[in-house]
Amino acid sequence: MSGKNISRDVLNAVNRKTGKNIKPSDIQKLASSVKPSTMQNEAQLRQLIKNVAKMANMPVSEATIQHIIKSVKGSGVNPGQLEQMMKMMIKK
C-alpha cells in the first residue's frame, strides 16, 4: 500500500482536529505495515486503530474502537483505503 494515496484534505483535517502536524511520511510508514489480512483480523485492526490514534494524539474509547472495527469489517475496507478508515476516525 502506498501512502501517496492519502489525500491532502484528510491529512489537513487530522492536523486541524488534533493540533498536531502529522507528516505524510508518518502515514506512509504506518500504511506500509498494513496487509490485506489486517482489515479482517480484529487484533491487528485494533492495533492499527490505536497506532493511528496515537499518531494523531487523539484518545479513542473502547466503544469507538469497536464501532470502527465493526464498520471496517462490514464495509469491506481494504488496506488501499486507509484514507477511508482515517475519515471514520475523524468523525468520531
**So what's the pLDDT on residue 43?**
93
Residues spanned by the domain of 48: 3-91
Q: Scanning the structure block, which residue is given the C-alpha cell 506500509?
A: 32
**So what's the pLDDT on residue 65?**
92
**So what's the pLDDT on residue 1?**
41
| Cα dihedral sign, 6-9-11-13 | negative
User: H helices of the chain, where?
Assistant: 8-18, 24-32, 42-56, 62-75, 82-91
**So what's the pLDDT on residue 2?**
43
When divided into structural domains, the chain yields a total of: 1
Mean pLDDT of each 10-residue bin along the chain, 92 residues long: 56 75 78 78 90 83 91 68 63 58
- Give me 66's grid cell: 469497536
31 vs 29: CA distance, rounded Å: 6
**So what's the pLDDT on residue 76?**
65
**So what's the pLDDT on residue 35?**
79
